[in-house]
Amino acid sequence: MSPRALGRTASEELAHQTFGLIERARNVRARERAFDGSAERLRKFLGEEAPHDIGHLLRLIFTEVRLTNQSRDELSHEPRHRRATSRRQGSGPRFFETHAVRGLSLVNSVRLALMAIWHDSFPLELVKQHSQNTLISQLGIEFIEAGDDYLKAKMPVDARTHQPAHVLHGGASVALAETLASWAATFVVDREKNYCVGLEINANHVRAVGSGWVIGTARPVHLGRSTQIWEVRIVDESQRLVSIARVTMAVLETASRYGNPPG
């Protein structure tokens, strides 16, 4: 049964149980068994919906938990007179809390992968309609797929998106990334209560493309009450990385303007 069929609560409970198994492991061998068992359990649960990087995400969490446990164990075995020094040097409880926060952020990433992120559903046809007569349509951007935890669009590499060297303009890639993040953010929240606007974007351009299409996929890194962070990977038609961008969205407490008539 898929996460969508079980619902958000069941998916969150499975994630909680999975990470609990890893966290309770007391030695390296037990942690390895917990990691392998948890990864397999998640793959069976998700089936074809399993994200390709679920094993990588679990490995990162495993590493964070190991570092957290090590710092906790080291602190518990220190003589009392050295604990105050450790705290001042940042290797005491604050160090433990820092790793716990990093671990929780990774847990959140996997939880997002386990469930549909949309407030209701993602209306792909509506988005296509309301993107007409905007920069989106001028660049030839086409929305092609909305999954449980991602939004995908493609953009032509031609005279509309070229730079003078006749390869894809980096600004066009950034426009594609912000377009995906903005539309995706819009339908994660309740549009009658929240309006998501771009706050910051940064991008790294990895490969030049002279023709054909590039495909962008936006996935959430963080979905908070006041901000959202989205990662957008842009690849060519051979699935080679072209650009990678991170977009921060501000969530305003006002009705969304996306999809409304101009004026």
Lowest mean pLDDT among 61-75, 107-121, 142-156, 175-189: 61-75
Q: Which residues are catalytic?
A: 178
The reported pTM is: 0.61
Q: What percent of the chain has pLDDT over 90?
A: 48
pLDDT band at 8 (very low <50, low <70, confident <90, very high): very low
Instruction: Select the highest-mean-pLDDT range: 188-192, 209-213, 258-262.
Output: 209-213
pLDDT band at 263 (very low <50, low <70, confident <90, very high): very low
- Phi, psi of 226, rounded to the nearest 5 degrees: -115, -20
Domain ranges of the chain: 3-113, 124-252
Provide CB contacts within 8 A for 150, sequence distance 6+. Answer: 184, 217, 218, 219
pLDDT at 83: 45
pLDDT at 31: 66
What is the residue-averaged pLDDT of the chain?
76
pLDDT at 214 over 60: yes
pLDDT at 58: 63
Task: Give, in words, the CATH class of 124-252.
Answer: alpha beta
pLDDT at 181: 97
CB 91 within 8 A of CB 74: yes
| Closest by Cα among 64, 214, 230 to 153 | 214
